[in-house]
Structure 1
């Protein structure tokens, strides 16, 4: 297979996808594509955040390996590099700044669009304020005023991401300028990530009235800052907007795939999400990095001779070796995932668990998920153990009742920590990104 297309959608929760059983028709194009391929219904991100998930999707490692998420290590291989070295034309198009050149994801691409901008006048002013005024009462007043404008008035105070139709246009332009050479194309859509600002026509598929961008931004801020005061009606509005964004993204995927099929006779397509989202189910908005509600994601592969559904446990680090294997290319030694081709063709599947981890202000959190058991060790010393067949919502913590399972899974995490240590790369350091990038990340809800 010498034409390979990887589509990723930020924040798309498996439970809001049609072929996963969602009652709303949010994904007609995705569902049709999935029906022609292999559907992996128990696919999980290694953590519920972009910066911790994409090391798996693009470099086939768990989040804390090779020095962690701060930047792609020189000892890692971005999947684009493997295709590039094999003579493929490579193109990557996205607007999540955690996947930008600043973080090392620009390697191996002939064309790479990450929307990382030159600093505007406003961002230069922010940089001046941060450098010269941070720590002073004036800086605090400026920052509070900036936040107040967004929270109280719903004013869009800055760019969040490039919309799906623009990203699709860029990808189609890349296709139009190509020939018959082997090609790898990656397209990542950001619209399903909050704030939810879907076009009116998609909102009206799920509600009788249109929510303005101003109202949506105010609602999003309320969910973040005072989730205890969000009404059920407001929560339902948020979900309507989320579903409308999914439908908008689905339409753009349909448009992109139509263009792909005009250019390519045969191709492999893989589609997934870096993580899901949740809407106050645990009392807050965002977060929930280790719970299934945030880590269960759609994943299918089409273009090879299979239309099956598989409930075997899959991690997103299995995506890069699958893409390379389908193209009959070897996986780099640094890859930790497994090719799904073996599962599809012979039922041979070595994965027994999905490991993950993420950092917060208290330290490092670790998680291991098996088909039946989930064990989370939090940085503050808390531990949670769930038996998933009886408790899919992860509410009944059995860590005190099932010491045997807790000990067994703790041993697996010890082994995982040892593997992380063996790949340690002290040369990896967080990049010094400009103030505009930092501000855009913060407006998306990231700590930056």
Structure 2
């Protein structure tokens, strides 16, 4: 691919959380028409058939896009080391205006993602945003409790509102539900007990809040109190968790199941407004969360009766084993509806880009895929199968309507921005310390993906870990025809013939020896260990604040 672009064109990177290529018409004819805007970008741009993320979940996959380095490099992925070189810095040095629009809590300043951006916009609930920033200011020593009067007031109101909302919703649910006997009655009794505890906690919390807010460390104290009282207690065990979820989603005066993140409409509106105010060439990154669980297509006002039926059918407290075919059909139908919703707003974004005086290179990809029962579960956990790491990748240019041939080269996310940067900015002087490369200068024979499985999760679960040195590494090397996966937690290997077994069901490790792929995996493990020994471990393995962990929990992450 050679993109014939002036070196001062805009670059817009669009990342869509959890988007699988085989659910797009441009990759799979079965889904033709689901996303016409993405299909058109693929028709007039370059569609990469063999693009792969570096991991299967956002906090571990995104370092490859943000820094062109593998996620387990330099101490780990949770809080990116200052030793990494961020791609946004490259564009800044090339005199580009840089802006990021983040809707995923893993991609916040707490993890160092704004590095290199002139402007960085994060979309969280107002009250949590206030607390998060306040905690950060105190932690960094930029302010103490006595000089944050305005934030203190906002914090107090936000925390009290959380209590009042929880109590009000719980009371309405109990009052309007016809309880009878058995498990339902037990749930009612348990939830009533939790409500009494919530009310008691709230009274104590309200009495102490004003005093807490006048002391150093006030934000941490208040945050711990409200999280432990509201977020955790009523969701931790059996029927209480299910009942808590139900009253959160009950109709009453508001549509059920509000999105836990900003939706594509809002983010697109603000990105378009930003572009209209920028005269110089810009590098813009937009991350959409709408295709991530809980799969809510559009704003609440846009849900049709059909989609509302799907929403009601999908009970996320149902275990995979208990899920029936109706549940599965609803689950995937919602997923497709969310893709279409994002596509509608991509159309608006593309129309806006096409109207600018400066041409724009649009790069569209996903941070990882999603599993729909192919390997024993749903969601995206610590697995490295293709349904989770094979991602769409489309590079298109406004004003270019010519049809392009698909690109079949192997392509890793660590290669994405080095390749785009060299092709668009016509500058090959990217840091030699990165793992990525311009694949047109040096094609790959195999790609690497890696993740961590938490050492504390049950044996039957594949929860993604965060901590090098304590959690277990899993590393995959994938060529055009084979994939080898190493499981440190099990001291086991899996080998798949991707031509004969593209869904990766038959492990051939006992039948043949993948010499070259094994060498790649072992070399990568040695590099990880060497870098970890010389890294700032406390930074790479730093914990997210509890308030962030709770919002991530709402999105289905186990943190």
TM-score by length of 2: 0.71
Looking at structure 1, the residues matched to 240 and 114 of structure 2 have their Cα atoms a distance apart, in angstroms, of 32
**What's 1:419 paired with?**
527
**What's 2:499 paired with?**
389
- Please tell me whether the aligned partners of residues 373 and 385 of structure 1 are also in contact (alpha carbons under 8 angstroms): yes
Counterpart check, 1:324 vs 2:421: yes
Looking at structure 1, the residues matched to 107 and 95 of structure 2 have their Cα atoms a distance apart, in angstroms, of 23
Label 1:306 to 1:434 Cα distance change in 2 as closer, same or farther (>3 A): same
- Please tell me whether the aligned partners of residues 16 and 243 of structure 1 are also in contact (alpha carbons under 8 angstroms): yes
Counterpart check, 1:300 vs 2:398: no
Looking at structure 2, the residues matched to 100 and 62 of structure 1 have their Cα atoms a distance apart, in angstroms, of 19
Counterpart check, 1:160 vs 2:276: no
Counterpart check, 1:84 vs 2:92: yes
Looking at structure 2, the residues matched to 335 and 202 of structure 1 have their Cα atoms a distance apart, in angstroms, of 44
* Partner SS state of residue 14, structure 2: strand
Q: Decide which moves more: 160-169 or 107-116.
A: 107-116
Aligned length: 431
**What's 1:345 paired with?**
none
**What's 1:219 paired with?**
315
Counterpart check, 1:364 vs 2:371: no
| C-alpha distance after superposition, 1:295-314 (max 9, x if no partner) | 11110112288822111211
Looking at structure 2, the residues matched to 414 and 352 of structure 1 have their Cα atoms a distance apart, in angstroms, of 16
The 5-angstrom pairing of residues 333-372 of structure 1 reads: 333-340=432-439, 342=440, 349-362=442-455, 363-372=472-481
The 5-angstrom pairing of residues 167-316 of structure 1 reads: 167-179=267-279, 181-199=280-298, 209-211=306-308, 215=312, 218-222=314-318, 226-287=319-380, 289-303=383-397, 307-316=404-413
TM-score by length of 1: 0.88
* Partner SS state of residue 211, structure 1: helix
Looking at structure 2, the residues matched to 221 and 264 of structure 1 have their Cα atoms a distance apart, in angstroms, of 50
Q: Decide which moves more: 236-245 or 328-337.
A: 328-337
- Please tell me whether the aligned partners of residues 259 and 296 of structure 2 are also in contact (alpha carbons under 8 angstroms): no
Looking at structure 2, the residues matched to 134 and 186 of structure 1 have their Cα atoms a distance apart, in angstroms, of 32
- Please tell me whether the aligned partners of residues 91 and 186 of structure 1 are also in contact (alpha carbons under 8 angstroms): yes
| C-alpha distance after superposition, 1:247-292 (max 9, x if no partner) | 0001111101111111243221111001111212222112353000
Looking at structure 2, the residues matched to 175 and 135 of structure 1 have their Cα atoms a distance apart, in angstroms, of 42
Question: What is the RMSD of the two structures over their aligned residues, measured on CA atoms?
Answer: 2.8
- Please tell me whether the aligned partners of residues 356 and 366 of structure 1 are also in contact (alpha carbons under 8 angstroms): yes
| Alignment equivalent of 1:9, drawn from 12, 16, 21 | 16
| Alignment equivalent of 2:106, drawn from 98, 104, 112 | 98
The 5-angstrom pairing of residues 12-161 of structure 1 reads: 12-24=19-31, 25-116=33-124, 117-119=129-131, 120-121=158-159, 131=224, 140=233, 143-144=236-237, 147-153=241-247, 155=249, 160-161=260-261
Looking at structure 1, the residues matched to 15 and 355 of structure 2 have their Cα atoms a distance apart, in angstroms, of 21
Looking at structure 1, the residues matched to 86 and 162 of structure 2 have their Cα atoms a distance apart, in angstroms, of 30
| C-alpha distance after superposition, 1:191-232 (max 9, x if no partner) | 00000111379876xxx823258626x52332xxx1111111
Larger Rg: 2
Looking at structure 2, the residues matched to 438 and 163 of structure 1 have their Cα atoms a distance apart, in angstroms, of 20
* Partner SS state of residue 377, structure 1: strand
Q: Decide which moves more: 121-130 or 239-248.
A: 121-130
| C-alpha distance after superposition, 1:313-360 (max 9, x if no partner) | 1111111102211212331223211224x2xxxxx5421111121112
* Partner SS state of residue 89, structure 2: helix
1:22 deviates by 4.0
**What's 2:171 paired with?**
none
Looking at structure 2, the residues matched to 235 and 107 of structure 1 have their Cα atoms a distance apart, in angstroms, of 40
1:18 deviates by 1.0
Label 1:420 to 1:236 Cα distance change in 2 as closer, same or farther (>3 A): same
Label 1:246 to 1:135 Cα distance change in 2 as closer, same or farther (>3 A): closer
- Please tell me whether the aligned partners of residues 234 and 244 of structure 2 are also in contact (alpha carbons under 8 angstroms): no
* Partner SS state of residue 491, structure 2: coil
| C-alpha distance after superposition, 1:30-57 (max 9, x if no partner) | 1111111111111111111111111111
Looking at structure 2, the residues matched to 437 and 271 of structure 1 have their Cα atoms a distance apart, in angstroms, of 27
